[in-house]
Amino acid sequence: MQGVGFRPAMYRLAGTLGLAGFVQNDREGVWIEIEGTAASIERFVADLPQAAPIAARIDRIETTRVAPRADAGFHIADSPVADASSRASAAIPADLAPCDDCLRELADPRDRRHRYPFINCTACGPRFTIVREVPYDRAKTTMACFAMCDTCRREYEDPGDRRFHAEPNACPACGPRARLLAPDGRTLLEGDAAVRAAARAIGDGAIVAMKGAGGFVLAADATSEIAVGTLRERKRRPHKPFAVMGRTLADLERIAVLDDAARALVVSRIRPIVLVPARAHTLAPSLAPGLADVGVYLPPTPLQAVVAGDGPALQVMTSGNLAEEPIARTNEDALARLAGVADWFLVHDRDVHSRADDSVVRTSRAGAIPMRRARGFVPDELALPIARPPLVAVGGHERNTVCIARDGRAVLSQHVGDLDHPDADAFFREAIARLSALLDCRPEVVVHDLHPDYRSTRWARMCGLPRIAVQHHHAHVAACLAEHGRTDRVTGIAFDGTGLGDDGALWGGEILDADLDTARRLGHLRPLALAGGEAAIREPWRLAAAALVDAGESLDVLAHVPAGARDRMRVLLATELPPRATGAGRWFDAIAVILGAARDTSYDGQAAAQLEALAGTRDGEPFELGFVEHEPFELDLRPAVRELCRELRAGTDPAELAARFHATLATAILAACRRLPNRTVALTGGCFQNRRLLEQTSALLARDGFEVLAHRRVPPNDGGLALGQAAIASFRLSRRTSCV
């Protein structure tokens, strides 16, 4: 692993043991040649793992005897000139949050880097977002244009200094510099004055676009309803929650319930946004409307740390984009796209080579749930159980990521997003190109979803490579298997919104018998009519109407829907026109509307999240459930809908009914698994972002003696699809399954 201070650590270890030789980065990793007594050499090899920096990852240590060179001492050698025939395989780490030493210097008025917003050392700072190619040397990063001053150069060359060979090393005299711009691009202030003014502006209620680790973020005072409301209006984001960056951990403790696991994530070097239960607090009411969780994190960069220190203690930090566009990467792009959103722009002259959103993780008693995998995680590698020729897996259409796999290793890209927007499609292509270049990988196969209308599928069909198509929910299960290093056959519970099935129908509530080669559909949730097609997903009252009519219930519980619209819906649902889908996410949407937890929605998963929030911490007995015995079997939710409606009309608290619906799905999964021979169950799909569903299902299955696999390293949602596609393709190619 390059870029984590490994070479300086080896230099120091060799020095303590009196060894000669060298350590050197190259395109394959790190080479160390040591020369000395047999006892010292054995001690070096034995101590190497413990002497390595905390961020280093050692896959294996290979040793070979070589002829002695009679070197006078140990040194760090320059990286060799790349051989055109060699292939890069060295791993580059993810960006690392400011370490405690750098934060102390940042706050020390006597230190020459006091308040310098680009402070870093071998233990922290940008990596993936600034590196252009391997080996990881300054000349191959976006820091190449900044010549180190004499003082920084001495630090860089001093084995006793913690900036020894820190490639982004810089200071106010020689490094990147901040500027405050007006929306028309005029420079207003530079250096520390620009940072102070931006922080004051946030405190005064302004919206500031700030260049973060992997691109631009939008900052506002999280306690000001006017500021948050203005940001929502300008960003065209009416409901989706905003994350809150706190100045200190104590600031976050005041607004959120942090257990030990959540606290460890918040202070980790990854610095993800962590979704945790909110406390009664003074945050703006519209920060996370209708939700019980709040997303919190500490400053992931020194620039944000300084702004947090000067400005409000709690600040909204959200992606620097409009709606579902990719985040702005360059200063010019930010000014062009965010001039109507931000009042001021806090920029700098260090380029972001690879954009990366903030990562998002949710806590649960069943373990951390990755929601969005980007800054801090990417480009960490995942091992594949099968090593096959290099390939690219292009994921799905929503929450897209791509995956490059070769030699039994897979690298999942940063979050790309929904591919409807042309800029997102361009980012998708950019992610493939840049990840392929960084890994020096020339894919020989492309893997894609079955859905012909996904932009990712269209790209796969046009790229000219041999293709392997993988069913959506099989890929979900395979992603869970791959991150656990499993190849055995399991019962896969794939609960999400919708995905194209093998039979051409819309699936999403699936019980599969699967491994990395094949998947057989054994059961599913009862399908719901999608009245109006895609409109049913945007207007979930249509799904509620479909569930009610299918269960033989009146539409009177949908009192907020105009009578004329209800009448027209009855007529439509009496026909065979609407397509039907088994999606568990669609059932969450329907029940959320029936119970009044959701009406108008503007982002995917909103109704389900609000239904979970309505349930709160209540316990509830499951509703009655039916089984339709055919192949595949059907988990029939109509009895549950009828019982729910009876209770609702009798005046039962909707929160209790929301809790009971979650319990019904968890019990349905247990009942389905009991019918099948596998004793290992993989829980996957976007519905398992739901803390209550994951916790209850995992507990029921474990109590019944099942081994439960859940996502811990990649998202259960479509952000993990590409890994599953890559795992399946690698396995099939090992069995010599032909491509299209």
Confidence of residue 92 (pLDDT cuts 50, 70, 90): confident
Please determine, for residue 89, whether its predicted confidence score (pLDDT) is greater than 80.
no
Angstrom CA distances, 43 to 11, 197, 339, 712, stand at 14, 54, 59, 36
β strands within 131-256, DSSP E: 178-181, 187-190, 208-211, 216-221, 243-246
pLDDT per position as a tens digit, 368-426: 999 999 999 999 999 998 877 899 999 999 999 999 999 899 999 999 999 999 999 99
Q: Phi, psi (5° rounding) for residue 333?
A: -65, -40
**Percent of all residues in the chain with a pLDDT value above 90, rounded to a whole number:** 86
Please determine, for residue 86, whether its predicted confidence score (pLDDT) is greater than 70.
no
633: left (phi over 0), alpha (psi -120 to 50) or beta: beta
Q: Give me the pLDDT at residue 27, please.
A: 66
Angstrom CA distances, 470 to 411, 647, 710, 737, stand at 19, 42, 21, 13
Q: Give me the pLDDT at residue 274, please.
A: 98
Supply angle C-alpha 322, 585, 275, rounded to 5: 55
Q: Give me the pLDDT at residue 649, please.
A: 96
pLDDT per position as a tens digit, 616-658: 999 999 999 999 998 999 999 999 999 999 999 999 999 999 9
**Percent of all residues in the chain with a pLDDT value above 70, rounded to a whole number:** 97
Q: Give me the pLDDT at residue 739, please.
A: 66
Q: Give me the pLDDT at residue 539, please.
A: 94
More confident call, 692 vs 68: 692
DSSP assignment letter at 360: E
Q: What is the average per-residue pLDDT within 721-736?
A: 93
More confident call, 27 vs 523: 523
Q: How far apart are CA 736 and CA 593, in angstroms?
A: 48
| Mean pLDDT of all residues belonging to the chain | 94
More confident call, 734 vs 550: 550
pLDDT per position as a tens digit, 471-490: 999 999 999 999 999 999 99
Q: Phi, psi (5° rounding) for residue 436?
A: -60, -40
Among the listed residues 619, 634, 560, 566, the one whose alpha carbon sits nearest the alpha carbon of residue 592: 560
Confidence of residue 591 (pLDDT cuts 50, 70, 90): very high
Please determine, for residue 222, whether its predicted confidence score (pLDDT) is greater than 80.
yes
Q: How far apart are CA 566 and CA 519, in angstroms?
A: 40
Q: Phi, psi (5° rounding) for residue 575?
A: -100, 175
Please determine, for residue 85, whether its predicted confidence score (pLDDT) is greater than 70.
no
Q: What is the DSSP string of 292-357?
A: SEEEEE--SSHHHHHHHHHS-SEEEEEESSSTTSPPP-SHHHHHHHHTTT-SEEEEESSPPSS--P
pLDDT per position as a tens digit, 705-727: 999 999 999 999 999 999 999 99
Q: What is the dihedral of CA 244, 249, 253, 255, to 10 degrees?
A: -20
70: left (phi over 0), alpha (psi -120 to 50) or beta: left
pLDDT per position as a tens digit, 232-280: 999 999 999 999 999 999 999 999 999 999 999 999 999 999 999 999 8
Confidence of residue 18 (pLDDT cuts 50, 70, 90): very high
Give the residue carrying structure tokens 């890559």.
Answer: 726
Angstrom CA distances, 505 to 101, 240, 409, 580, stand at 56, 30, 33, 8
Q: What is the DSSP string of 425-482?
A: HHHHHHHHHHHHHHTT---SEEEEES-TTSHHHHHHHHS-S-EEEE-HHHHHHHHHHH
Q: Phi, psi (5° rounding) for residue 172?
A: -60, -25
For residues 372 and 235, the answer to whether their CB atoms sit within 8 Å is no
DSSP assignment letter at 49: H
For residues 705 and 679, the answer to whether their CB atoms sit within 8 Å is yes
* C-alpha 608: how far from chain center: 19
Measured over the CA atoms of residue 531, residue 624, residue 661 and residue 634, the dihedral's sign is: negative
Confidence of residue 72 (pLDDT cuts 50, 70, 90): confident
Please give the structure tokens belonging to residue 156: 């860089």
Angstrom CA distances, 500 to 368, 379, 453, 463, stand at 29, 29, 10, 22
Q: How far apart are CA 214 and CA 194, in angstroms?
A: 20
Q: Buried b vs exposed e over 159-180: b needs ≥16 C-beta within 10 Å?
A: eebbbbbbbbbbbbebbbbbbb
Q: Give me the pLDDT at residue 134, please.
A: 81
Least reliable range by pLDDT among 139-143, 254-258, 322-326: 322-326
Alpha helix (H) residue ranges in 507-605: 535-538, 541-550, 563-573, 584-594
The three-state secondary structure class of 146 is coil
Query: Count of alpha carbons within 13 Å of 463, Cβ hemisphere only?
Result: 25
For residues 364 and 375, the answer to whether their CB atoms sit within 8 Å is no
Give the residue carrying structure tokens 């979803």.
Answer: 449
Please determine, for residue 737, whether its predicted confidence score (pLDDT) is greater than 60.
no
Q: Give me the pLDDT at residue 483, please.
A: 96
Amino acid in position 30: V
Residue 177 neighbours by CB under 8 Å, 6+ apart: 190, 191, 348, 349
Amino acid in position 216: F
The three-state secondary structure class of 25 is strand
Residue 657 neighbours by CB under 8 Å, 6+ apart: 595, 620, 644, 647, 648
pLDDT per position as a tens digit, 104-140: 999 999 999 999 999 999 999 999 999 998 878 899 9
Angle between helices 654-674 and 691-703 (to 10 degrees): 40
Q: How far apart are CA 201 and CA 187, in angstroms?
A: 16
Q: How far apart are CA 390 and CA 381, in angstroms?
A: 14
pLDDT per position as a tens digit, 660-701: 999 999 999 999 999 999 999 999 999 999 999 999 999 999
For the chain, the straight-line distance linking the first and the last C-alpha, in angstroms and rounded, comes to 36
Q: Give me the pLDDT at residue 2, please.
A: 62
